[in-house]
Chains A and B, each alone.
Chain A
Amino acid sequence: MSKKLVIFLMSGRQTPDLAKAAVEGGADLIELGFPFSDPLADGPVIRRAAEAALAEGMRTKACLECLAEIRGRVQVPLVPFVYSALLEAYGYERFVADARTAGAGAILVPDLPVDSHSELERIQLVAPTSTDERIDLAAKTTDGWLYLVTLTGTTGARTELSSALAGLAARARRLSPPGLPLYAGFGISTPEHARAAAGIVDGVIVGSRAIEVAAGGSDDLRRYVSSLRAAIDAA
């Protein structure tokens, strides 16, 4: 089975076009950022993208409309990446219902640990600091696949793929139900990183670098995603 490529894009007016380009370039899934004013898990690139999106008026409702528009343009699964502050304001259940209606498969909440709001079905995240007990719980409750945060830190490109990924992936593999896909994100920015990560896990998530490239337009993004795709397929 070929390895999956996930591209993160921030909600915005250009995002439906960008999502289409990313899928044409070979993305298997689009993670759609809902901007928040105080995003603790994010490094400078995604933080600035969130600031710009908010300045453009991308509040929760507008992001859901963006999601629906993307749904009309591409066939791949769409996953909102949304901070708990937005869910608090919108209503957790209402958000899930409206996101589904707009075309989302699952959702990702980067600041909601596995043992809080356990009623909310979502893709769970685990980190190198997670205990076995917490990885076990996350693997049991996650919605579809498990998100491995490759490093202790915030989102953003790094020069090398985190050396912590291999150990985390081995633990997650051991503790997960058979067949649960493991996807790795945070700090993956080059085709070389993507190839190396794809040798370890089932899916690779690229965020900050994709946002930077997307600033240059759809063609740039399509080319960049193609280069990641080729690297992953060669893994």
Chain B
Amino acid sequence: MSSSSAQSAPPDEGHGLYGPYGGRYVPETLIPALDELEAGWRAAQADESFARELNELLANYGGRPTPLTLAKRFCGEKRVYLKREDLMHTGAHKLNNALGQIVLARRLGKRRIVAETGAGQHGVATATVCARFGLDCVVYMGVEDMRRQRPNVERMRLLGAEVHPVEIGTQTLKEATSEAIRDWIANVETTHYLIGSCVGPHPYPKIVRELQAVIGCESREQILAREGRLPEAVIACVGGGSNSIGMFAGFLDDAEVKLYGVEAAGAASLGSGRIAVLHGARSLVLADEDGQIADAHSISAGLDYPGVGPEHAALRDSGRVTYLTCTDGEALAAFERLTKMEGIIPALESSHALARALDIDESLVLVCLSGRGDKDLDEALAQLGRQA
């Protein structure tokens, strides 16, 4: 499959450790299921029919390859290319992962799928693939996110998914993820947990990375064909970190390519987090000195998460990737600018990467436009109206 050319497979494949990060911090009940998943993933990787089935779905159902668009008016002084994951079926990169995991889940004989969602994009992608294959689908979503992303809630329900409101704690992605994991613990024999980002216990960070690596691999070929050279910088937003890790996977071995991840200023696990355990893995997390998880804050539901994938934490430590932050206001400005200058309404998540793309030094820049912004119209218009 296309992701097989992804560069720099993560270290310590066997234990799911990325330096001091990763691992499995979950109740014993789940360990056999994680072992089964890992074995199933290995077998799928070694089986050409898995790659054939997935590639056919990515192309003819998902709409891959996605185009690369030169954003001339968005940024006149430099050449900024947008990797158009917003043009994928369901409107975001999330479908790459959902398709891959659903093919895997079917190989494992699972008939029921649980997932968490923040912005609703992963929930929609999961509900979509469940509809496509006739599987039962339960999506956990915080009630605050259900309010912020109402169109996606309606979409998931129309697709036949049961959207389970999560009313505990911050009522956002963190709690939704915990509830999805608890559901999985209770139904582990029949159910596949279709995690949406490169977080969670081993082997999830690895599986999600490999399924999203198609973004970086395609982008690399496309920009070489268009520009005859590699980009000077690659930039992507980071919540849990799946679009960015998939994009970076194509460029990690190209030392001359500068890599930037952009976190929401109020949810900067890499910028201001500490080592802690959340959702089954050790990583950088917004937590207090006792290890209690702190609340994250972002206008973008998809970035409103206090943790981050363990590979990102290791990439920060090694210095290979530079992680920046972006405020709600800066993201909104970039959202409006791309819309008005290019006729592309970006997701608020992707708008964080767009904002920083404008002010980094490099002049040939590749941005991962991870999703489209239709889902954000209510929230963005309300906020922009307040500013006006």
Contacts and interface: CB of A to CB of B under 8 A. Distances in A.
Interface of A: 36-38, 40-41, 43-44, 47, 51, 54, 59-61, 83-90, 110-114, 116, 125-131, 134, 138, 149, 152-154
30 contacts: A37-B169, A37-B292, A40-B181, A41-B185, A51-B169, A54-B292, A59-B292, A60-B290, A60-B291, A61-B290, A83-B277, A84-B25, A84-B277, A85-B277, A85-B291, A87-B291, A90-B291, A112-B25, A113-B28, A116-B24, A127-B27, A129-B28, A129-B31, A129-B33, A129-B188, A130-B31, A149-B28, A149-B29, A152-B189, A153-B186
Contacts of A149: 27-29
B36 to A, nearest CB: 10
Given A60-B290, A111-B27, 17 more contacts: A38-B169, A40-B279, A40-B280, A41-B185, A61-B290, A85-B277, A110-B27, A111-B26, A112-B25, A113-B27, A125-B28, A129-B31, A130-B28, A149-B29, A152-B29, A152-B185, A152-B186
Nearest to A86: B291
A40 B27 contact: yes
Contacts of B291: 36, 60, 85-90
Given A40-B280, A47-B168, A89-B287, A154 B182 contact: yes
Nearest to B289: A89
B293 interface: yes
B32 interface: yes
A14 B244 CA distance: 48
A111 B189 CA distance: 19
Contact of B185 (A61, A112, A154): A154
Most buried by B among A43, A116, A125: A116
A134 B31 contact: yes
Contacts of A83: 277
B358 interface: no
B25 A111 contact: yes
Interchain residue pairs A-B with the least CB separation, the first 5: A89-B291, A153-B186, A85-B277, A127-B29, A85-B291
Contacts of B289: 89
Interface in B31-49: 31-33
Contacts, number: 113
A184 to B, nearest CB: 14
Main secondary structure of the interface of A (DSSP, over half): loop
Contacts of B32: 129-131, 134
Given A59-B292, A88-B282, A40 B26 contact: yes
Nearest to A129: B32
Contacts of A130: 28-29, 31-32
A160 B367 CA distance: 55
Contacts of A153: 29, 185-186
A111 B182 contact: no
Interface string B173-185: 0100010011001
A38 B33 CA distance: 21
Interface in B130-188: 168-169, 174, 178, 181-182, 185-188
